[in-house]
Chain A
Amino acid sequence: MNIIITISITAFVVLYAGLFKAKKALLPLTVVGLLTALGFTFSAWNGNAVHFGMMQTDNFALAFSGICIVGTLLIFLLTQNYFHAKSDNIAEYYTLILFALAGMIMMVSYKNMAMLFVGLEIMAVSLYILAGIRKTDFASNEASLKYFLMGAFSTGFLLFGITLIYGATGSFDLDKIQAYLVNNQAVSPIFYPGVILMMIGLSFKVGAAPFHFWTPDVYEGAPSLITTFMSTVVKTAGFAAFLRLFADAFAPLHEFWVAPLMVIVCLTLFIGNVTALFQKNFKRMLAYSSISHAGYLLFSLIVLTKNSGNNVLVYAAAYTFASIIAFAVLILVKQKTGSDSFESFNGLAKRNPLVALCLTIAMLSLAGIPLTAGFIGKYLMFLNVMTEYKTLLVAFAILNALVGFYYYFRVIVAMWFKDGAETELSTPSQYKVVLLVSVAITLVLGIYPAIILNLI
C-alpha cells in the first residue's frame, strides 16, 4: 500500500516540480521516491498484508514490485540526455512513467479483478501516451495509435472475460473465485469462456502470439527508452498479473485451460524466434525476442508447481536486466550513429570494449548461456515443464532456443568480428552505472542464483 502511495506522491511531486521548471530536481526526486518505495517493499517483506480486501502484498507481489521498481529506477537513470534534447515536458514523462509503475504495482498485487483492471488500464493509458511522446515523429505516432487501438480492442475481451467470470461466481475477488472453483463440483459453463477470454486479454498485454502483432511495431516505433520500459518492466508486471490469476485463482481449472495455453506458447515461441531471425534492426529484433521470451515465461503456467511464481520471477529478472543493458547500449549507439540496425554495432568492441562486453553478456543471458541469469531462468522453465515430462514441448522450445542463438549472436558478431566506423561512443556516467549494475545482477544471478530461488 505504502508503495503505491509513495509512487503516486512521487508522481505528483514530479509533476508539480515540472510546473515550477525545476528540471534538475526531477531525477533526484524520482530516484528518492523510488528508493523509498523500494524500502517499503523490503519492509513489507513476509508481511502478507491485505489492503482493503483489494490488494495483497504477499511476497509474490513484493518480489515483483521490487523488480519493477528497480527496473524503472534503472530506466530513469537512462533518461540522462534522453528527453532533455527533445522536449520541455520531462516532468510529464516522468509522471506518466511513475503512474504506469503504480499501475503495475496494482497488477502484481491485486486481489480483486477491479484492481487488476484499474491497474492494467492506468499502465496501458500511460503507455499509449508515452509511446507517442515524439509528437512529430511519424513512427512514434504510428506506434502510439496502433498500440492504443489494439489495446482498447483487447481490453474489450478482457472485460468480457471478467464479466463472464463474475456472472459465474458472483464476485470479483480472487479468493472467492478460487473458493467457488474448489467448492463447486459443477462449475458454471460460462466460466470457461470467461477464462479463455481473460487469457486472450492478458496474452495481448504480455505480447503472446497470436495477439502479439502490436509488439514489434510499437516497440520499434516508440522512443527507445519507452520501449525499454515496455519490454522489461511492463512485461514483467503483465506476467505477474497473468500468473496471479491463472496460477492462483484459476488453478483448479488448470486441466481445462492448459490446452489453449499450450497452443499460445508454441505459437509464441515459434513466431517470436523465427521472425526475429530475419530482422535487420536491432530494436525490432529485441521486440521479437521479447515475444519469444513471453513464450518461455508462459512455461511456468503449463505446469503449475509451487515454484511457478518464483520461476517467473527469476526469468523476468534475468530478462529485464539483460534487456535494459541491450536497450541502454542501443540508445547510445543510436545517439551516435542515428541508426539502430545491426550494422551500426559493427566494430563496437574495438572502440568501446567494455560496453561491448556488457552487451555481449546481456545477449548471452538472453540466449540462455550458462553462468548468466538467462540460463537459470530458462533452466527453471524447462525444469518446470519437465516435471510433467512434457518432453516434446521442451524439445520444441530447445529448437527455438537454437534459433535464438542465431539472432542474439548477430549483434555479438557485429561488435566483435566486424569492422566498422571508428567513432567512439560517449558513455554518460549514469549509463555506466546502469550497465554495471545490470551486468553484475545478470552474472550474480547466473552464478549464484540461490539468493533469488526461494523468494516467493
Chain B
Amino acid sequence: MEQLLLLIFLPLAGAIITALAGKSAKIVSTVFSVASLVLALVIACNFIPDASTQFEVNLPWIADLGINFHAGIDGISLLVVLLTNLLVPIIILSSYNHQYKSPAAFYALILFMQTGLLLVFTALDAFLFYIGWEAALIPIYFICAIWGGKDRIRINMKFFVYTIAGSLFMLMGIIYLYLQNPAHNFNIQAFYALNLDSAQQGWVFWAFFIAFAIKMPVFPFHTWQPDTYTAAPAQGTMLLSGIMLKMGIYGVIRWLLPIVPAGVHDWGQLAIVLSIIGIVYASLIAFTQKDAKRLVAYSSIAHVGLISAGIFAFNQQGMQGAMVQMLSHGINVVGLFFVLDIIFSRVKTNKIEELGGIAKVAPQLSIAFLIIVLGTVALPGTNGFIGEFLLLMGVYNYGIWAAAIAGLTIIFGAVYMLRMYQNVMLGQTNSLTITFTDIKGTEKLVLYTICALIIVLGVYPKPVLHLTEASVQHLLEQVNQKLNTVN
C-alpha cells in the first residue's frame, strides 16, 4: 500500500521540487520521472498476474460524502500505469533539445499531470477518479497554452471546455450512481453491484460515454484534437496523445462496461458504429493532410477508433487487443511526434511538401522513423500488429462487416503513413533539408528506446498479455454475469 501511495505522489513531490528547482528543473524532473518508472517496474515485478486488485489503499478522505482515497492496481491498471511512467521520462528526455522559457514550470506541470494520470489509472473510488481526471487536464492545458504555437489560446480553450464539458456530465453520472448506491459511497465495487434498469443504465452510459468519447476522441467528438495536437508544444502533444487519450479508453474499460453493461448492450452498437466511422473517416482525412503533425493527429483518431470498437465488441480478443494497443499506440505516437519535433526543431516546419530527402542526410533518423511508422501501420513483428490484430479479431467476432470496414485501417494507414514517410524522408534533399543533421544524444536515446520497445513488444507481447489476461477475463465474466441477471 505504501508503494502505491509512493507511486502516486512521487511525481507530485517531484513537481513541487521541480517548481522550486529553477535552472536545474530539467535534471530534477528527469530524476523523478525515472524514479517513478523504477518504482512502477518494482510494482510490476511484485504484481501477481491474477484478477485481484493489489497494493490496495483505502483511506478515508471526505468521509461525510462517502469519498475515500481508494486506489489499487490490477492488471489493466498496471498496464496503463506502466505506460504512463514509461512515457513521462521519455517525454521529458525528448524535451532536452528545447530551451523552453520558464523550464521549472514546464517540467513541474508535466510531473503534476503524471500524478493526475496515475490517480485516474489507479482510482477505485469514482470521486477520486474524477479528481484525477480533472487534475490531469489543468496542467496539460497550461502546457499547451503557454508553450504552444500559433493560435494556441483559442484552440486550447476549445480543447479545455470541450473535454471538461464531457467530464462534467460524467460527474453527473457519478453522482447519480452515488445516490443509487445504498451505501452512499463511491466505491467501485458498490457501483458494480448496483442493479439499475436498462433505461437508467442508458442514461448513465451516455453520461460516461461522452466524457470518454471526447477524451479519446471518438468521431464525431474529435474536432478539438487535430488543432490541439498541432498547436501544442511537442511534449504536450506527446502527453496528450501518448497518455491522456488512454484515460478515455481506460475509463470505458474500468467504469463504463462493468457498471452499465445493459447500457452498453443497448448503445454499444452505436458506439461501435461511431468508432468504425471514425476509423475510415479519420484515415481518409489523413490522406491529404499537408501538415505532418495534423496527419498523425488524424491517424491517432483512426487508431483510437479501432481500440474503441474493439472494446465495445466486448470479447477477450478485442479487450486484450485494446490493452496491447493502448501501450503500443502510446509508444508509437510519442515516437512519431518526437520525430516530427526533431524535424521541426531543425527546419522549423512540419509541412510535408516542404520536406524531403532527409533519409539521405539523416539515415539514423530515417531508420528510427521507419520503424515507428511500421509500428503504426501494424506490421507483424511490431507492437502495433499485436494490438490491431487482436482488436480486429475482436471486432470480427462482433461482425464480419464491421471488421471488414475497420480493417480498412491497415490499408489506409499504410497509404497515409507511407505517403508521409516518403515525402518527408525519401526523395531528393532540398534547400531546407540539405543541412539537416542526424539525431544525437538524448534524441538517439529516446528514439532507440522507442524502436526497441516497438520491436520487443511486437515479437514478445506475452508479458503484456499475461499481465492483463486475468483481469480482462474477470471483467468479462463479471459483466456477462451482470448482464444475465438484468435480462
Contacts and interface: CB of A to CB of B under 8 A. Distances in A.
Interface of A: 364, 369-371, 375, 379-380, 382-383, 386-387, 389, 391, 394-395, 398, 401-402, 405-406, 409, 413, 416-418, 448-450, 453-454
A413 B142 CA distance: 9
Contacts of A402: 161, 164-165, 168
Interface stretch (B130-138, B261-269, B405-413): B130-138
A186 B64 CA distance: 38
B171 A379 contact: yes
B410 to A, nearest CB: 38
Interface string B119-130: 000000000001
Nearest to B152: A417
A379 B203 CA distance: 20
A401 B64 contact: no
Nearest to B131: A370
Contacts of A383: 65, 175, 178-179
Smallest CB-CB A-B distances: 6 pairs: A370-B134, A453-B64, A398-B168, A386-B175, A370-B131, A450-B62
Interface string B21-63: 0000000000000000000000000000000000000000111
Contact of A369 (B138, B157, B165, B179): B138
B153 A413 contact: yes
Contacts of B160: 405, 409
A369 B137 CA distance: 10
A382 B145 contact: no
Contacts of B134: 369-371, 375
Interface residues of B, number: 29
13 contacts: A369-B134, A369-B138, A371-B131, A383-B178, A387-B179, A394-B172, A395-B172, A398-B172, A402-B165, A409-B160, A417-B145, A450-B62, A453-B65
A452 to B, nearest CB: 10
The A interface, classified by DSSP as helix, strand, loop or mixed, is: helix
The B interface, classified by DSSP as helix, strand, loop or mixed, is: helix
Contacts, number: 73
Contacts of B61: 448, 450
A386 B176 contact: yes
B169 interface: yes
A371 B112 CA distance: 13
B170 to A, nearest CB: 10
A409 B144 CA distance: 14
B146 interface: yes
B169 A398 contact: yes
B117 to A, nearest CB: 14
Contact of B172 (A370, A386, A453): A386
Contacts of B146: 416-417
Contacts of B171: 379, 382
Contacts of A449: 62
Interface in B61-83: 61-65
Contacts of B164: 402, 405
Contact of B138 (A364, A379, A389): A364
